[in-house]
Amino acid sequence: MASTETLAPDEIGGVKVVGSRTTHTYADGRKALTESWMSPELQIFLRNKTGDDVFRMANLSRKEPYPSLFRVPADYSIIEEKSTFVVEFR
């Protein structure tokens, strides 16, 4: 069984966030808490906490990214594969 409560709005790193706390209750009586904080403006989670595990967004910047990040490198070329190839993930 799970129950969720809405937390009072807050700010994380100058960004307004809304939060919720979910309590999961298991048949054997154990409880697990999850707390999540999301920015409605940015549409991303800035902090999630489950037990001792914490995920948080760090070094968030609203500056425009460097245009060079979106330029195709000068030595870039397209190679047409003439045969089948396989990509393996291990």
| Sign of the CA dihedral running 11, 25, 29, 49 | negative
Neighbouring CB atoms inside 10 A of 12's CB total 16
CA separation for the pair 36, 41 (Å, rounded): 15
From first to last of its 90 residues, what are the pLDDT tens digits of the chain?
A: 899 999 999 999 889 999 999 999 999 999 999 999 999 999 999 999 998 999 999 888 889 999 999 999 999 998 888 888 788 888
